[in-house]
Amino acid sequence: MSVLSGKKILLGVTAGIAAYKTAFLVRLFIKAGAQVKVIMTPAAKEFVTPLTLSTLSKNEVVSSFTKEEDHGNQWNNHVELGLWADYMIIAPATANTLSKMAGGHSDNFLMATYLSAKCPVFFAPAMDLDMYKHPSTKENFAKLISFGNVMIPATSGELASGLTGEGRMAEPEDIVAFIEDHLIKDLPLYNKKVLITAGPTYEAIDPVRFIGNHSSGKMGFELAAAAHDAGADVILISGPTHLEKPRERIKLVRVQSAREMFEAATKAFPEVDIAIASAAVSDYRPKISADQKIKKTGETMQLELVKNPDILAALGEAKKDQLLVGFALETENEEENAAGKLKRKNLDFIVLNSLNDKGAGFKSNTNKIKILFRNGAGKNFDLKTKKEVAADILNEIIILSNA
């Protein structure tokens, strides 16, 4: 999911040949989960049709102060549109439009809306290379940036004039990536690296049998998505699960056994700022794992188990400035056992699940937690979806990170 998911984007299209790219741009915004409305200058309709952009955006395209089909009897409210948007993007932004924006000239509906907008405004210049380098254009760039607008720089390439040089509008996918990267910088975990372990581990008995548990990995994957959406670079180390990577930018490392998870987690830990150990790691593994399928030869079978490495304890021992969070799934003496684990493993806080709580535990889409902190304080949460629980946990991490 993109940081643009659920956001309202107002796209202003002006009269440049690069306007044809806005069809692709609208598609990408929609794919990112945004709502899109389009304003066109009257001349822009000569380069791309309102029908194309309205079909792709699923909203009527506006280009004038009145609705032409109503013979001017119905007014399009530029103030309302300006207030509706979370972000306004003007692409392509021609030299003519940039001059109007810098000078505050309001001679069309797009300019009136721009001057009314309360949201962040991005602009993507598009023009011939001599126009792009002209002193007046550079002055307009500087002026708009001083207003708080954000410039998406043009690139070099073949231009409509036949010349090759700077002035080509950034490609739609690069515009979306630029905006996403810009927005991420304002998120609370921007520039933080977060390590999350998730799911079960499978300890092989033979090539077809294993020791494992019922963990689905849902909680860890929701935590990874929440950390990503808060701006973090996320490494998600997951045991066997059917779940797919929740966000494109998350680094997903798939493992099978506790020893594989131990190696991956301890290797990544020195480079991260925050670690959340939500995986349900098998405490023991078979001492010997057979190379071939074990045949049924008697009424009983003895299996000797040895202890697996304690991932959370190892991270707690190696901990320096990192914030370390653990999970405890208990069935009795819940708080006492969780508090002991918190202390022994050098955690900043521990998330307690009780299998005695209806709707909590493995496989479910919900969870009920209590967070225990190092200072002895505790915080109870109601039964919620795992997505909401992940948001609650991340919120506590953000608070501690900023303390």
Residue type, 278: S
Query: Which has the closest alpha carbon to 196: 400, 390, 392?
Result: 390
**Cβ burial 187-209 (10 Å sphere, 16+ → b, else e):** bebeebbbbbbbbbbbbbbeeeb
Residue 390 CA to residue 194 CA, distance in Å, equals: 14
Half-sphere exposure of 25 (CA within 13 A, CB side): 30
| Interhelix angle 172-184/22-31, nearest 10 degrees | 40
213 flagged as catalytic? yes
Collapsing DSSP states into helix, strand and coil, what is residue 260? Answer: helix
Dihedral pair phi/psi, residue 136, rounded to 5°: -65, -35
Dihedral pair phi/psi, residue 97, rounded to 5°: -65, -40
280, 241 in Cβ contact below 8 A? no
Collapsing DSSP states into helix, strand and coil, what is residue 8? Answer: strand
Count Cβ atoms below 10 Å from residue 392 Cβ, excluding itself: 18
227, 194 in Cβ contact below 8 A? yes
In sequence order, what E strands does 247-343 have? 251-254, 274-277, 284-286, 305-307, 323-330
Residue 232 CA to residue 47 CA, distance in Å, equals: 40
In the set 77, 96, 213, 346, the catalytic residue is 213
Residue 234 CA to residue 251 CA, distance in Å, equals: 6
Residue 140 CA to residue 39 CA, distance in Å, equals: 22
In sequence order, what E strands does 331-368 have? 349-354, 366-367
Catalytic residues: 213
